[in-house]
Structure formats: C-alpha cells, structure tokens
Amino acid sequence: MDKKLQDAMNEQVTAEYQAALLYRQLAYTMEAQSFPGFASWFAEQAQEECDHAEKFATHLIDRGHDVTLHTVALDAPSIDSPLAAFQAALEHERKVSAMIRNIAGIADEVKDFDSRSLITWFLDEQISEEATVSEIVDQLTLVGNDGSGLLRLDSGLGQRNDSSN
C-alpha cells in the first residue's frame, strides 16, 4: 500500500474515534436535557463510529501495515437543544465524508484497487449517514420548540434499530 494512502487511512481511524467521542458527548448532553431517545440514538451512533474505525484498522492490518492512532481531540460544541446537537452531527458527518472522498482520490491516484470495496462501502455509508441526520435536522426544524413534537421525535429515535454497520 502506498504510504500516502496508508497515512490517510490511519488518520481516518483516529477521525472515526473522534466522531465516536463527539457522539458520546452529544448523547450525554441529550440525556442531561431529558431526551433519552436522542441520547440513545447518539450512543448507538458512537458505537457505529468505533466499528468504522475498526474496519479501517482491520484493512490496514490485513494488508500488512501498522495502525497508528493519533491524539483524539474533542472540541465539544455548546449544545442548547436537540436541533443544535443534530446540526453539529450533520456538520461532522460532512467533514467525515470529505475525508473519505479524499481517501478515494488517493486510492485512485496510486491505483490501489485492493482498497476499492472498503472505500466504496464507506462512500455509500456516508451518503446514508448524511441523509439520515439531515432528515432529523429538517424534522427538528419543523417542530421547533413544540414540546409534543420534540417528545414524539425523541421517542421515535429512541427506538432506532440499526444494523447497517
């Protein structure tokens, strides 16, 4: 594997763990604001991000390369509502999508065909992730500060059954 691609994948492993910390922080924040369904959704998302990190790590190891974790920093956003939490999540998903597209570009540049299936899976996953979070942002925007609407959304997201990772 080309060193440039290996480095980008190692950075992605760290970025996925960073995403997990962000989602865990958002879960704690939603729990503190008495939204257990939103908290549960973010907690499941945190676990999914750890699984994503493992996919990249396994790929590197299977190809005979070391996994090098870098410092995982978290700039916890100030969150005062479920809408703000999901807007922060959407912003982060867009950042992750850009990183994965960068990895795809590097793989194409260095003709690393063995990474194609992994990268394609992640590109598809990011389309789904962004669409899901964007839809939740739209729904939260629609209900605004309507308490019953927020509680219905909270309840619905608390019943998330995700097996996509």
User: Which residues participate in the annotated binding site?
Assistant: 16, 49, 52, 93, 126
| Direct distance between the N- and C-terminal alpha carbons of the chain, in angstroms, rounded to an integer | 25
Residues 6+ apart with CB under 8 A from 21: 46, 72, 74
DSSP 63: T
Residue among 78, 87, 75, 79 at smallest CA distance from 35? 79
Residue 14 contacts residue 70 (beta carbons within 8 Å): yes
From the annotation, which residues make up the binding site for Fe cation? 16, 49, 52, 93, 126
Q: Using alpha carbons only, how large is the chain's radius of gyration in Å? A: 17
Neighbours of 1 (CB within 10 A): 17
Token pair 């992640």: residue: 122
